[in-house]
Amino acid sequence: MPPLQKRKPGSPNDEDPSNDPPEHENTTSGQQVVTKSETKPQPTLALSPLPLLDTVNTFGAQTFTTDQGLKIIQWSSWAISYLTASSKHHKETLSPALRKLSGEVSFTRYVLRFYGFFQSLDGYRSGSWAGGSWDNPKIAKIAKYLMAGSMLFYYPLEHVAYAGWQLPTLSKFSRDNANKISALSCVFWSMYIIGDFWASCLKWNELKKKMNDLGRLLAMKKRDDDKAGMMEVEQEQHAIAKKIRLVKLQVIRCLLFILPSVNWSLPNWATNPLLGELPLNGLMLAEAYTSVYQTLVG
């Protein structure tokens, strides 16, 4: 699709322990060997926690959350550019500069998608995109075949379109052909969104049933004056309520995504788009902030 999309998380790289300093150093012949055990330990200063720094580091450690941060920059830059386009003071300076930045960040996000095919393949083989174990077997099948399966086609097509846009002299695709390849990739993205919405609704329904069952169980515990049992059930209710909140946010994201995905799936999306700039990019802006909020509350 044109420079946007949501992503699945990658895996952060572990630090290499081989970079640690050696245990001791030998001096020249005849001189004393000094080891760590013979040196006086230096007191360490306890650093106070910085929640904002921890949050930023968490976002930057994964491909998925890194992409979320870039989405905020991309669509916020566009929004400010759009709002300042008619300003006498900013229409020739700030507005075009931010619009250019939005485009550059958009293409930067394409680079992150190079990991997507392998993550999709892993999701297809392992079934991990179902997001845990569910009683309804349809959820696992949707996650495997409709969601992960569609992404196995989406990512390679995106890479071909990206090469056509960025390397026109090296690739055999003209910009028009690259646009058509991008439209085809968005057909598979739309399939993913439909599957995500379907699976999320099934999860929501299953979680509501579990919440109702816990409500009846809690009433029994209260009748028996089982305080320990009541506390355990209430903790389970809290966990289920959190899952329901996250699933609701996922449904909202799917609804925000579906019209843009259809727009970019059309062969003439670049010359005769279905949606205008404001509704199209406005939906993507809303999804970007909803996505980050979902990650933070999760």
- Tens-digit pLDDT profile for residues 150-187: 999 999 999 999 999 988 877 677 788 899 999 999 99
Which pLDDT does position 40 carry in this prediction? 56
Question: Are 2 and 284 in contact, with CB atoms under 8 Å apart?
Answer: no
- Average pLDDT of span 282-294: 97
Range picked from 124-128, 177-181, 205-209 for highest mean pLDDT = 205-209
Which pLDDT does position 29 carry in this prediction? 41
pLDDT at 24 over 70: no
Of 30-39, 59-68, 289-298, minimum mean pLDDT range: 30-39
**What is d(CA 275, CA 262) in angstroms, rounded to the nearest whole number?**
9
Which pLDDT does position 151 carry in this prediction? 96
Which pLDDT does position 170 carry in this prediction? 75
Angle, vertex CA 61, rays to CA 245 and CA 57, nearest 5 = 80
Which pLDDT does position 106 carry in this prediction? 93
Which pLDDT does position 175 carry in this prediction? 81
User: pLDDT tens across 89-121, in order?
Assistant: 888 899 999 999 999 999 999 888 888 898 899
**What is d(CA 160, CA 158) in angstroms, rounded to the nearest whole number?**
5
pLDDT at 206 over 90: yes
Beta bridge mates, 24? 35
pLDDT at 30 over 60: no
Q: Token pair for residue 178?
A: 């690259």
The closest alpha carbon to 85, from 278, 283, 287, 289, belongs to: 278
pLDDT at 10 over 50: no
pLDDT at 33 over 50: no
> Helices marked H in the chain — which ranges?
51-60, 63-84, 94-112, 116-126, 137-141, 149-166, 175-223, 227-265, 277-297
Which pLDDT does position 217 carry in this prediction? 93
Which pLDDT does position 64 carry in this prediction? 75
In the predicted model, what is the mean pLDDT of the chain?
84
Which pLDDT does position 171 carry in this prediction? 67
Which pLDDT does position 53 carry in this prediction? 63
pLDDT at 197 over 50: yes
- Average pLDDT of span 291-295: 94
Which pLDDT does position 43 carry in this prediction? 56
Which pLDDT does position 191 carry in this prediction? 98
User: pLDDT tens across 40-94, in order?
Assistant: 555 555 556 677 666 656 655 577 788 899 999 999 999 999 999 988 888 889 9
